[in-house]
Amino acid sequence: MQTCRNSTRRPLWKPYSNSRRRARTSDASTVIAFVTIIFRMLKEAEGLFFQSAISTRIRPCARRIGDEDMQILKKIIRHPVFIKTAAFFGSLLTWLLMHILFLTCRKHLFGYGQLDALLTEYNNKLLSPNWHRSIIFSVYVHRNRKGAILASRSRDGEMISAVLHRLGYHTPRGSSGRNKGGHLGLKAFVDHVNRGYPGGIAVDAPLGPPHVAKRGIILAAAKTGAPLLPQVWYARPNFRFKSWDGTMIPKPFSEIVMIIDNQLIHVPANASKEVIEQYRTKLEKRMLHLTYQVDHWFDMRDTYPDPRDIPVPSPVPMPSLFS
């Protein structure tokens, strides 16, 4: 009869190794500490809603959370399980709010009707550059086309990726910079476009400067042979975040004007660095041209019902970030 010592399974009497014991103890200690912090906060906030001077009680409550407690909270917030859970519920709420918000808005879409014919002509290999400020409505209006959008590898990108998945997009991940997986993200994005998923990139993302196109989408166009079809939009009235790009969100019951360009930009394959830079500049100028037209359409629509007919000065002024 084979004894327990010769068995491949760990005998019940044999303790776990020190490393496994420490890991289990550390996890348990983290959970216990987190629960302790929550109870401490609840205790400090006891009677808060029954007193008139609520604001005078919040700061003392926050100050009593020590540095050690904050370190534990930071550790929990940065844990992959916490990030995935927050992304799941956050994306669900964002998806619901986006549908409610945009259903209340009046939309003026110029050039949208040509998309189906272009997608058929190019076998869905089409790239739509956008500004980072106006990514929100763009992903909503194209939600049923099953496209691919390059998302950041950061924790914020995890939330954005979860929202995009709910809207039906594929999200290859990548960021700017050699050490942040930018080349891997671009390669995955190119693979998705070659498989027939229309692609979208915020050309001035992820860190700006605003309204300055980067060459990533030009490289993608050269590698895939997909033409570039710029698109921009503007809403009035709107909310503008005090961020580097002035991210824009339409207010409920606002009006939205969107231009999808009628001029395709074809980037030649195996283009040199100088040619890539020429097409990057060309794309940037074209998008600034369209941005000027949508930004001024609400003031000029009686004269120009189609915003694409609005004359644009040369050189094109840079768009305002917070208007």
- Asked whether 148 and 169 are in contact (CB, 8 A), the reply is yes
Integer-rounded Cα radius of gyration of the chain = 26
Which tokens belong to 46?
């006891």
Give 151's strand partners: 173
Q: Give me the helices (H) in the chain, please.
A: 18-44, 55-63, 67-77, 80-103, 115-121, 135-141, 155-166, 182-194, 216-224, 273-300
Q: Which part of the chain has CATH 3.40.1130.10?
A: 90-309
Phi, psi of 228 (to 5 degrees): -95, 130
Task: Supply the pTM of this predicted model.
Answer: 0.73
Please tell me the distance from the alpha carbon of residue 95 to that of residue 123, in angstroms, as a whole number: 29
Burial of 181 by CB count in 10 Å (0-12 exposed, 13-18 middle, 19+ buried)? middle
Of 80, 231, 103, 218, which is closest to residue 158 (Cα–Cα)? Answer: 80
pLDDT of 151: 79
Each as own residue / partner, the long-range contacts of residues 182-186 (CB below 8 Å, 24 or more positions apart, any chain) are: 182/216, 185/150, 185/153, 186/150, 186/216, 186/219, 186/220
pLDDT at 208: 81
Q: Could you report how far apart the first and last alpha carbons of the chain are, in Å?
A: 83
Q: Which residues contact 127 (CB under 8 A, 6 or more apart)?
A: 193, 198, 199, 200, 201, 217, 220, 221, 224, 226, 227, 228, 229
Residue 284 CA to residue 38 CA, distance in Å, equals: 50
Looking at residue 235, its pLDDT comes to 96
- Amino acid type, 4: C
Phi, psi of 9 (to 5 degrees): -80, 150
Q: Which residues of 128-158 are buried (b: 16+ CB within 10 A; e: fewer)?
A: bbbbbbbbbbbbbbbbebebbbbbbbeeebb
User: Which superfamily does CATH assign the domain made up of 90-309 to?
Assistant: Glycerol-3-phosphate (1)-acyltransferase (3.40.1130.10)
The set of residues, in sequence order, having a beta carbon less than 8 Å from that of 101 and lying 6+ positions away, is 249, 250, 252
How confident is the prediction along the chain (323 residues), in pLDDT tens digits per residue?
444 444 444 444 444 445 444 444 455 555 555 555 555 554 454 444 444 444 444 445 555 555 666 677 777 777 777 777 877 888 889 889 999 999 999 999 999 999 999 999 999 999 999 999 988 999 999 988 889 998 777 666 777 888 888 899 998 876 544 555 567 778 889 999 999 999 998 998 777 899 999 999 999 999 999 999 999 999 999 999 888 888 999 999 999 999 999 999 999 998 999 999 999 999 999 999 999 999 999 999 999 999 999 999 988 988 887 77
The answer to whether the CB of 186 falls within 8 A of the CB of 150 is yes
Sorted by sequence, the CB contacts under 8 Å of residue 205 that are 6+ apart come out as 132, 135, 152, 176, 214, 245
Handedness of CA 213, 215, 218, 220 (dihedral sign): negative
249: left (phi over 0), alpha (psi -120 to 50) or beta: beta
Residue 55: predicted pLDDT: 46
Cis peptide before 209 (omega within 30 of 0): yes
